[in-house]
Structure formats: C-alpha cells, structure tokens
Amino acid sequence: MAWAGKVLRVNLTAGTCASEPLNMQWARDYIGQRGLATKYFVEEVDAKVDPLSPDNKIIWATGPLTGTMASTGGRYSVITKGALTGAIACSNSGGYWGAELKMAGWDMIIFEGKSAKPVYLVIENDKAELLDAAFIWGKSVWETEPAIKAKHQEPQMRVSSIGRAGETGCLYAAVVNDLHRAAGRSGVGTVMGSKNLKAIAVRGTKGVGNIRDFKAFMAATTAAKKVLHDNAVTGQGLPMYGTQVLMNVINTMGALPTRNHRDVQFDGAKDISAEAMHEPRKTDGKKNLVTNQACFGCTIACGRISKIDETHFTVQNRPQYWGASGGLEYEAAWALGAANGVNDLEALTFANFICNEHGMDPISFGATVGAVMELYDMGVLTKEQLGIDARYGSAEALAYFAELTCKGEGFGKEIAQGSKRLTAKYGHPDLSMSVKGQEFPAYDSRGIQGMGLAYATSNRGACHLRGYTVASEVLGIPVKTDPLVTEGKAGLVKAFQDATAVFDSAGVCVFTTFAWTLADLQPQLAAACSDEFTMDELGKIGERVWNMEREFNNRAGFTHKDDNLPKRLTTEPAKTGPAKGLVNGLDKMLPEYYQLRGWDPQGRPTKETKARLGL
Amino acid sequence: MQKSLHINPDKCTGCLQCEMACSYEHHGSFNPSKSRIKVFDFHDAGRKVPYTCTQCAEAWCLQACPVDAIKLDLVTGAKVVMETVCVGCKVCTIACPFGTVNYVQDTGKVQKCDLCGGDPACATACPTGAITYIDADWTGLERMQQWAGKLDNQASA
C-alpha cells in the first residue's frame, strides 16, 4: 500500500501510452523511486546502450511516501543511463511535481524509443496523451511551464521539463520542475531531449488514500517531524541559512576546492556565503535572500529564494531576471564561485538563475568553467578562442559562459561537453576534476578523506548525495570522525551509501538524514506500506540497490580502474589549512571497501554477495 | 469564546501540510485538490499565501442558499455546509465574494471550511505557525504587540 499500483508506459516511437500494474514483488524488494525504477531499468535496458540512442529508456519515479504527510514526502527521481557518464543515472528532485504524479494515480512513467518530432506528455488522472510540442520547443523552462498551463487553462498543473540545454545536447542538462527544482545531475535532461520529449505536465486529483494504517502513519510522521524540528541542523540551520550554512565551515577546515582544486581555501568564501546572502547590499540596501521556501510536504524548508540587484551588470535592462526565484544552494554557490575564484554573489545568483531557466546542472557547468579558466591561465586556451578574458575570478566570464553554454553557442558548445571531454580535447585530461566523467561537488577530499572514497565509488560518478560522510566527518552526525584520516572510512562510506539508497527509494529527502536515521524512517514506511519493512529488511534493501547499480555499471564496461580520483587529489598536497600537506588516501580505503562490500579485487560483487542480497 | 483561523503569510514556506491535513480530515486521503484551504504562490515576489474562509458574520453563502443547507455552528461560529441538504446548485459559490466555497465533482455538493468542529487540522499541521487558531476578538494582538514594541523603542531612543 501507499503505492499507486500503476505504471505508465509511453512509447515515444509509436506515440502510445499504456497503463500496467506495478510489479508488487519488486516494490517489496526495492521500495520505490530510485530502487524500484532502477530495477525496472536494469531489467529492460542493455547496459551497453548508447545513452542518447532510442534504445535507452528514461523513467520518472515516485516513492511510496511521495504525496503523503510524511515530512519531505514530495520527491521523485529520474532514472536512465547518464549522458554525461555512461553510468546508471538517478537524479532526485523536490518541488511539487512528484506528489502531483502520485495524486494522479501513477507510481512511475517509463519512456521508451524516440519521438519523430517534439512532443510533451499531459496526464490528467488516468488519462495520458502525447501532444505536439512545436509551440514550446526552443523555449526555456521559465517559458514552457506557463505556456503549457495557459494552453490547457489549468493553472494547477505541475510541469517537469527541459530548457534549451536539454534540446541542444549539453551533456549535463537537467530536468526542471516548478521553475527551479531540478533533477540536476548526470545529464538526465540530455537523454530527455534526445528523445524529443520536452515536458511532462500533470494534474492529479485522486490523492493518496491507500495508506496501510492511517492511525499509525499519522503518529509516526508526527513523531518524525518533531525530530526534524528539534534538531539544530534541520530545525534551525537549514531553514535559516540553507545548505549554504556550510560555505564558511568547509572553507575554514580547508576543504573548499578552489580554482579547479588548485587550492583548498577561498579568500572570497565569506562574500558568497549564507551570511552574505543575509547582508543588505551596499548598492540598493536590499538582501540577496528574500525568504526560505519548502518543497511539497517539507517541514525543513531549506530552499533559497533570491532577488538579484537590478543594477548589477548581469541583469541591467533585463527585467525578466528581477523577480524572486531559486537562489544559491551550497553546491551551486561553490561550483559557480569558489571553483572559478569568483566572489561576486550577484553574478553567481544570475548564473544559477540561468541554470534553472534553461535546465543545466550548475555543479558540472561551474566545475567545467573552472577547468577552462585553468587552461586559460596556462595559455592553452586563448581569449580569441573563448571570446572573453577568462581569468580566474572573472564574474563577466562566468555570466558570459552560462548564457553561451545553455544555448550551445560559441565556445559554450565545448563547455557543454563537460570537463572530461574538454580537457582531453586540449591535451590535459588530468585537469578534469571528475570521476566517471562527472564533476566533483563542493568538498575537497584532501581535507575530508572519506569523501574521496565516496566520490570514487559513487555509482553515478562524483557526487555528494550517494554517501555524504561530510555529515560524520564535519558535523558529527551520527558520530564525529576525524576528517583527516582514512581509518574507518570504508565502513562509514558503505553505511552512508546503503542508508541513502533507502531514503532515495522511499519518496523523502536525503536532507532529513541530518536528523533522521533509518530508525526514524522505518515506522513511517511500515505504517504506509507493509510491516515487512523492518530495520533489517531496509538495511538489506539499501545494500541490494547499491549492488544492483554497481552491476549495471560493471556490465556497461566500468571496472575497478574507474573507482579513481584525478591525480591532483592523490599527488598534489593541500597547500593551506588543517589538511596542509595531505593528499587523499584512496589507495588505503578502497581495498577495505571492496572487502566490506563483498566484492572481488576487481570490484565485482561475488556470487555469495549476490545470493545474500537476492540479486 | 470563539476562535478564528489566523494566517500570517510571512511565515508560510509553501509546504502544503495544511492542504494535506484538510483533505485527510474531510476526505480521508492526502489530496490538496480537495483542500478547503489553498496556498497561493506569488512567485516573482517570493511569497506563499494560505487562504481560506473567514467565516463572515453576515455570510453571503448562507444568505444565498435556496435550501438552507448552510448553517451557523453556534459554538465555533463556522458556517457549515450540511451535505445531506445541499443540492449542488452552486449559488453560494457565486455569492461568496472571496471564492472560498467550491463545488466538489465527486460528491455533487459544495464544500467550505468548517473549522473542523473547533480543532482545525490545518493549524495543527502547520510547521511554522503561519496558520494559528486564536481568540476571534484578538486576531490583531500580535501585530499590535509589534507596533507597541516599535513605538516603545522610539520613545526611549
């Protein structure tokens, strides 16, 4: 229960929509969203498929708690083979779209094939149809959402769509819903665009009414909300400062990757921090931050809503950027800022708006610009090639590249390929700060050792949301570990990876794990779905999901050699801060990690491991 | 003593817990499309604003109803739709100047906020205090207090 029990299968080649019952055995084995959709995906898709070919599929999936009163119960994920990485991709988004799909009576939508011309899918409860998208193709996300609502005279529709980046083949294009919430990473928007699928508009009025035990569910969700409320991070830090609460903290501990990871501390960090967003600007006396906002069902409300200074060079005479919209989260502020040495908060906010408007991952975009600026600094790339003086710290270059890249124009076409392909093309592949082709987020693994292993082994390429040991190594959640040592990190990474897979499969936000453990989630899942979801079973499901993703990647051609970090992080010591003199000790952690996982030295799950997990 | 729903949009984050609580209370499911309180998104201003029935003393809906299906709850002051009497003519939805009475296709009746019989689920569910249920005669108390504080500071400055 709590599942809608229905899957919508859309064949874009044939232009058909069909309803099929949800595989309930798989639902018990993989819960929903990330786990369950990945199960469908790996069963149906050849791991060797070209991500941009019609044979790749792409799935929008909710979890059983999506659309319920569980705090943060509004999530959905987009699962496919990633355009940027060639690995399994699973990008998670909040906002209101996921709950709307569930309210319409669907657990997930599986798209197959490729449409001959641009189309969008409209769902009104049981009814689903593909319609001609000629009137929105070429439009931004910010134009597409209102255009669809106006055409259908339905302001309460929710829309998940791609902007220009997904249409023009930017390899890290995002899927965006509700104007500024995004399934951001690995190029899931690129795959959507490659299928000529522009948008999915949903109106659901059926609601979620099949909770197994409503009374127990209301008691469990109320208790869990209290845990969030009473916790310093989820109750105070995140609503007040958002994830940006980390900027000064991570900089102080010498783990803020700066100028393409040349440095681990950024002297401009304070200018782009949460505190700076709260400060009245010198120019107009107003704050960058307007307010905090929540996604569907969320009692944390970490979302930033910002307004750009109307006199700032990026938006002069461009009133379309003067309104409030999604502001800087920590990862975006880092990628658009510290990674490039840019400390202009308004320029960062503008670049972030552009990423939302046109559907582009700000992490991979910002980090790729960091690599471009390093190549410029080395004289490998020139002003003539780039069209602008691209010195580290240039806010003008950042804003210029953002607009070019999302539209696939000029040198932006090359930035849109990501740092791995770009640095290889110009003869310096070692300067791509990425794993499996996906750029690092905002934590330098020389200063936070566990994150090196988390990045190297992440199934979707470098990512902080697969095993966030920052929680333990920096914030002491659930226990404080020393960020500068490698001892014990293999077990820590595995524990975080497995638990996160459960949260990502349930329909709730991983940020709840600042306060919740599996013991807080379990009663909610059990009351909503099935008493088979015990603590033991959930632990096993997390591990099962992780190994299933790993096996897909292995079949796709990845090996233990791809569980690696760029040379810079393992050979160039941190120059300043508490981690001064340290490199990442991946080689000390990886063998132990394989052993704990029950994998052979080549990183392949052994027969015993697979049997134990029912794979 | 009667109480009123009191809404402070400055505290609203747009989480829609109120809409889910309302639909659960009245329809037994989590379903914002059936909620009697709605949160509006004024996107460019960065504001979320919850809105529902104010329970007018001289209620247009009650006056307009041709079959007297809307009754005053003497304890709570709520104007309550009696589903067994309502014929779904929708005249009340036209009469209400604020749009807070609406038709429900599934039932063929109208619905509006009934204050949940004196314990409104939306106020209980609201995590930020944007929706509270307070003394009907003193909905301005908090704002008065704020101004009193400001004036006091001026006097002492």
Q: What is the pLDDT of residues A234-259, one digit of tens each?
A: 999 999 999 999 999 999 999 999 99
CA dist A86 → A78, A191, A255, A460, A557 (Å): 15, 11, 28, 9, 9
At residue A152 the predicted structure's pLDDT band, cuts being 50, 70 and 90, is very high
Please check whether residues A176 and A72 belong to one and the same domain. yes
Residues 573-602 of A with CB under 8 A from B: none
Question: Which of A69, A71, A158, A289 to probe the B interface (max B CBs under 10 A)?
Answer: A69
Please check whether residues A407 and A493 belong to one and the same domain. no
- Cα–Cα dist A245/A513, whole Å: 16
Please check whether residues A319 and A347 belong to one and the same domain. yes
Instruction: Please report whether residue A218 resides in a domain.
Output: no
Listing DSSP states for B89-154 in one string gives --HHHHH-TT---EEETTTTEEE---GGGTS-HHHHH-SSSSEEEEEGGGTTHHHHHHHHHHHHHH
List the domain range (segments joined by +) for residue A392.
255-439
Between vectors from CA A182 to CA A181 and to CA A183, what angle results, nearest 5°? 145
Task: Find chain B residues with C-beta within 8 A of A204's C-beta.
Answer: 33
Task: Find chain B residues with C-beta within 8 A of A325's C-beta.
Answer: 43-44, 46
Helix, strand, coil share of chain A (percent; to 5): 45, 15, 40
Instruction: Please report whether residue A225 resides in a domain.
Output: no
- Cα–Cα dist B154/B152, whole Å: 5
Instruction: Please report whether residue A318 resides in a domain.
Output: yes
Whether pLDDT at A74 is above 80: yes
Query: Do the Cβ atoms of A487 and A463 come closer than 8 Å?
Result: no
Query: Count H helices, E strands: chain B?
Result: 5, 8
Whether pLDDT at A1 is above 90: no
Minimum mean pLDDT among A141-155, A402-416, B142-156: which range? B142-156
A557, A503, A373: which is closest to A33 by C-alpha? A503
Q: Kindly state the helix (H) or strand (E) to which residue A484 belongs, with its residue range.
A: none
- Cα–Cα dist A281/A365, whole Å: 27
Instruction: Please report whether residue A212 resides in a domain.
Output: no
Q: Which whole number is the average pLDDT over A11-32?
A: 98
Interchain contact, A207 vs B27, CB within 8 Å: yes
Query: Do the Cβ atoms of A562 and A457 come closer than 8 Å?
Result: no
**Residue type at position A449:** Q
Question: Which of A141, A205, A210, A212 to probe the B interface (max B CBs under 10 A)?
Answer: A205
Q: Which residues contact A226 (CB under 8 A, 6 or more apart)?
A: none
The ipTM estimated for the assembled molecules is 0.96
| pLDDT for res B154 | 67
Please check whether residues A418 and A474 belong to one and the same domain. no
Secondary structure string (H, E, C) spanning A157-211: CEEEECCHHHHHCCCCECEEECCCEEECCCCHHHHHHHCCEEEEEEECCCCECCC
* Residue B63 burial (C-beta neighbours within 10 Å; 0-12, 13-18, 19+): exposed
Note the pTM of the prediction, 2 decimals: 0.97
Query: Do the Cβ atoms of A234 and A515 come closer than 8 Å?
Result: yes
Instruction: Please report whether residue A44 resides in a domain.
Output: yes
Minimum mean pLDDT among A78-92, A455-469, B136-150: which range? B136-150
Q: Give the domain B3-156 fold.
A: Alpha-Beta Plaits (3.30.70)
Please check whether residues A354 and A312 belong to one and the same domain. yes
| Strand residues in A33-115 grouped as ranges (E) | 58-62, 76-81, 88-93, 108-112
Q: Which whole number is the average pLDDT over A85-111?
A: 98
Task: Find chain B residues with C-beta within 8 A of A305's C-beta.
Answer: 46
At residue A25 the predicted structure's pLDDT band, cuts being 50, 70 and 90, is very high
Whether pLDDT at A223 is above 80: yes
Whether pLDDT at A570 is above 80: yes
Residue A380 touches partner B, C-beta closer than 8 Å: no
| pLDDT for res B1 | 87
Percent of the residues in chain A that have a pLDDT greater than 70, as a whole number: 100
The residue written with tokens 């077990």 in the block is A491
Please check whether residues A371 and A481 belong to one and the same domain. no
The count of structural domains within chain A is 3
- Tell me the nearest-neighbour CA distance from B21 into chain A, angstroms: 8
- Cα–Cα dist A165/A163, whole Å: 6
Instruction: Please report whether residue A219 resides in a domain.
Output: no
Please check whether residues A53 and A193 belong to one and the same domain. yes
| Neighbouring-strand partners of residue A80 | A58, A89
Residue A320 touches partner B, C-beta closer than 8 Å: no
CATH number of the CATH domain containing A519:
1.10.599.10
Residue of B nearest to A204 (CA): B33
Considering only the beta carbons, identify the residue of B31, B43, B44 that sits closest to A207.
Answer: B31
Q: What is the pLDDT of residues A344-358, one digit of tens each?
A: 999 999 999 999 999
| pLDDT for res A436 | 98
Query: Do the Cβ atoms of A184 and A193 come closer than 8 Å?
Result: no
Between vectors from CA A386 to CA A383 and to CA A388, what angle results, nearest 5°? 60
| pLDDT for res B155 | 59
Q: Which whole number is the average pLDDT over A113-140?
A: 98
Q: What is the pLDDT of residues A6-17, one digit of tens each?
A: 999 999 999 999
Interchain contact, A207 vs B34, CB within 8 Å: yes
Please check whether residues A468 and A432 belong to one and the same domain. no
Q: Which whole number is the average pLDDT over A262-268?
A: 98
Please check whether residues A379 and A456 belong to one and the same domain. no
- Tell me the nearest-neighbour CA distance from B59 into chain A, angstroms: 28
A107, A35, A29: which is closest to A533 by C-alpha? A29
| pLDDT for res B151 | 84
Count of CB atoms within 10 A of residue A484's CB? 18
Count of CB atoms within 10 A of residue A562's CB? 18
Q: What is the pLDDT of residues A520-566, one digit of tens each?
A: 999 999 999 999 999 999 999 999 999 999 999 999 999 999 999 99
Please check whether residues A187 and A159 belong to one and the same domain. yes
A513, A502, A18: which is closest to A231 by C-alpha? A513
Residue A118, token pair as written in the block: 């641009």
| pLDDT for res A91 | 98
Whether pLDDT at A93 is above 60: yes
Residue A49 touches partner B, C-beta closer than 8 Å: no
- Cα–Cα dist B71/B53, whole Å: 14
- Tell me the nearest-neighbour CA distance from A53 into chain B, angstroms: 37
Instruction: Please report whether residue A531 resides in a domain.
Output: yes
Please check whether residues A497 and A385 belong to one and the same domain. no
Question: Which of B15, B40, B47, B48 to probe the A interface (max A CBs under 10 A)?
Answer: B15
Instruction: Please report whether residue A216 resides in a domain.
Output: no
Whether pLDDT at A65 is above 70: yes
Task: Find chain A residues with C-beta within 8 A of B27's C-beta.
Answer: 207, 209
What is chain B's pLDDT, residue by residue, as a tens digit (157 residues)?
899 999 999 999 999 999 999 999 999 999 999 999 999 999 999 999 999 999 999 999 999 999 999 999 999 999 999 999 999 999 999 999 999 999 999 999 999 999 999 999 999 999 999 999 999 999 999 999 999 998 877 655 5
Please check whether residues A408 and A289 belong to one and the same domain. yes
Residue A592, token pair as written in the block: 């132990």
